Amino acid sequence: MKRLILVRHGKSSWKYNVADDKRPLKKRGFKDGELISKAFRKFYSKPVTIWTSPAVRALETAKIFKEELEVGDRDFIIKPNLYTFNKKDLLAQINTCDPAVEKLIVFGHNPAMTGLVNELGNKSFDNIPTTGLTVIDFETNSWKDLQNGETILNLFPKNLR
pLDDT tens, residue by residue, 20-45: 999 999 999 999 999 999 999 999 99
pTM of this structure: 0.97
Q: What's the pLDDT at 86?
A: 98
Q: What is the DSSP string of 37-72?
A: HHHHHTT--S--EEEE-SSHHHHHHHHHHHHHHT--
Name the amino acid, one letter, at 1.
M
Domain extents in the chain: 2-136+148-160
Q: What is the pLDDT of residues 86-132, one digit of tens each?
A: 999 999 999 999 999 999 999 999 999 999 999 999 999 999 999 99
Q: What's the pLDDT at 98?
A: 97
Q: What's the pLDDT at 17?
A: 87
Q: What is the pLDDT of residues 61-82, one digit of tens each?
A: 999 999 999 999 999 999 999 9
Three-state secondary-structure class, residue 107:
strand
Domain 2-136+148-160, what fold?
Answer: Rossmann fold (3.40.50)
Structure-derived torsion over alpha carbons of residues 82, 122, 70, 77, reported in degrees to the nearest 10: -20
